[in-house]
Structure 1
Amino acid sequence: MRNEDITLTAGDAEVTVAPGNGGRVSGLRVGGVELLRQGERYGCFPMVPWCGRVREGRFRDGATVHQLPLNAPPHAIHGTARDAAWRTARSGPDEAVLTHDLTDPWPYPGRVTQRIALTGDSLTLTMSVETYESSFPAQLGWHPWFNRNLGGEDVRLDFKPAWQEERGEDRLPTGRRIDPAPGPWDDCFGMPGGVDVTLTWPEQLRLRVAGRVEWVVIYDEQREAVCVEPQTGPPNGLNTHPRLVTPLEPLEASTTWTWTRL
């Protein structure tokens, strides 16, 4: 298994991919400036086969209730793939393809494939979950930690969601949709026309996070970073918005980050 770090380059953009550390993008530099928070837990990691928290780590598939490890007690959070080593299927100067086989503690066999493609002004992340055996509910998404500050003013967020998922005391959606409220946030928002969030570091860089998925979690409660997390369903979605992966129908999604110097 090849899981050494991979460096992709295009124009003055450089990406570091860490297959051995959860298949994450561990660095994104534009003109030598690092946009992602650095550290083992940070960068941008794939959330799969679920996103955000699963209430008490339990989800139902038909009549069967499965128990996941409580890695954010009292809940399970962000899937299992970020804690695993991924395989490098192929890599080139500006593209890498990684794979990860789902296994314990996830109760169903399946394969995740992630493609990371860089151009001089964009990064596109594409992911799919496939099964050749039992069908199962799943989610996928990405959890980037963007540096709040690049050496000038703090980043500004601009987005226009259709709704906000009301957050209960257990930090999970209650099922009620409310008008978007001001931050700080650890909240999920609905964008049925596709996720579209712009981060602007004044007089430095503007970066747009876009994709056809309909949910995005914004997390900006930490001083160092701001997270913009496009995903295929809301937190606890294995229970509330199950999307079935079948041998004939994989789960697929992508997100593209496009940047402009200011």
Structure 2
Amino acid sequence: MTTDDTVTTDPKGARRVRLSAGDAELTVLPDNGCRIGSLRVGGTELLRQGASFGSFPMVPWCGRVALGMFRNGAERHQLPINHPPHAIHGTGRDTAWRIAQAEADTASFTYDLAEPWPYPGRVTQVFELTPDALTLSMGVETVGDSFPAQAGWHPWFLRNLGRGGSDVRIDFSADWQEERGEDHLPTGRRIDPLPGPWDDCFGMPDGVDVTLTWPGELELKITSRSEWVVVYDMQPEAVCVEPQSGPPNGLNTLPRLVTPIDPLEISTTWHWRTLD
């Protein structure tokens, strides 16, 4: 079901799906990788704006795949090198998604896996908005052979909300950090978490739990049952907290097979409260 006031088009014909609940407003851009184009709470934008930013889904892999190559059993596959010398962040963010449902506070979208991904399948993403939280869910199914896959999200949260307040503070407790090599891939060693700045993957066996605090303005807690999260805070405009189903290069180092009877499923909830 789709309501006329939920789905609109911009002057270039690109679709926008707008959800609202209380004073929270969400805009999803299905023609731009089904990314979140805007998340506003009480009129304040939380995400960095721009066609490459907002918050995009990472699927069917997350982060970097070493040299763009992975194996599925005896078969070796080469992915496009879109972040030399590696392949990064999947194909979902570069794909137009179909609108399956769009109502006032809930929407779902799908797209079919196709070239350059070597296996047929389907991805579904669901958005559920309440006045104080957003829950994102994603599923990956095969329509043929089993294959390794990952899924997650890459939000770009504004470092400063632009209301005269302080920059955001990132708080979390991780059991380990994946040691990052000079090639920006995990070395395979787990080390004690280091202080930032970060472009690093952390392990949280009890589930992802990261809090962003804009002092005196807003607190946003990011949780997921998944145990992996990448934290990136090396740009002046934004910080990223990326819950995902496996570590970078996990198609090779920790493959999770999607089978006809066992799809890959992941979800995350962002819960906020105002502090002013």
Compute the TM-score of the two structures, normalised by the length of structure 1. 0.99
- Structure-1 separation of matches of 2:60 and 2:194: 29
2:186 is aligned with 1:173: yes
- Structure-1 separation of matches of 2:28 and 2:62: 21
1:128-167 equivalence runs, <5 A: 128-151=139-162, 152-167=165-180
User: What secondary structure does 1:5 align onto?
Assistant: strand
Instruction: Tell me the amino acid that sits aligned with residue 200 of structure 1.
Output: T
Number of residue pairs the alignment of both structures matches: 261
Deviations 1:134-165 (A, max 9, x none): 10000000000000001210000000000000
Q: Where does residue 104 of structure 1 map in the other structure?
A: 115
Q: Where does residue 246 of structure 2 map in the other structure?
A: 233
Instruction: Tell me the amino acid that sits aligned with residue 82 of structure 1.
Output: R
2:256 is aligned with 1:255: no
2:90 is aligned with 1:118: no
Deviation at 1:4, TM superposition (A): 1.2
Deviation at 1:12, TM superposition (A): 0.2
2:87 is aligned with 1:70: no
Deviations 1:31-87 (A, max 9, x none): 000000000000010000000000000001101110000000000000001001000
RMSD: 0.8
Deviation at 1:132, TM superposition (A): 2.1
**Runs of at least 4 residues off by over 4 Å:** none
Q: From 256, 260, 271, give the equivalent of 1:243.
A: 256
Deviation at 1:220, TM superposition (A): 0.4
Q: Where does residue 43 of structure 1 map in the other structure?
A: 54
Compute the TM-score of the two structures, normalised by the length of structure 2. 0.94
User: What secondary structure does 1:56 align onto?
Assistant: helix
User: What secondary structure does 2:156 align onto?
Assistant: strand
Q: Which runs of 5+ in 1 are unaligned?
A: none
- Structure-2 separation of matches of 1:43 and 1:132: 30
Q: Which runs of 5+ in 2 are unaligned?
A: 1-6, 8-13
- Structure-2 separation of matches of 1:239 and 1:107: 15
Q: Where does residue 195 of structure 2 map in the other structure?
A: 182
Instruction: Tell me the amino acid that sits aligned with residue 42 of structure 1.
Output: F
- Structure-2 separation of matches of 1:197 and 1:204: 17
Deviations 1:146-186 (A, max 9, x none): 00001210000000000000000000000000000001000
Between the aligned residues of both structures, percent identity stands at 70
Instruction: Tell me the amino acid that sits aligned with residue 81 of structure 2.
Output: L
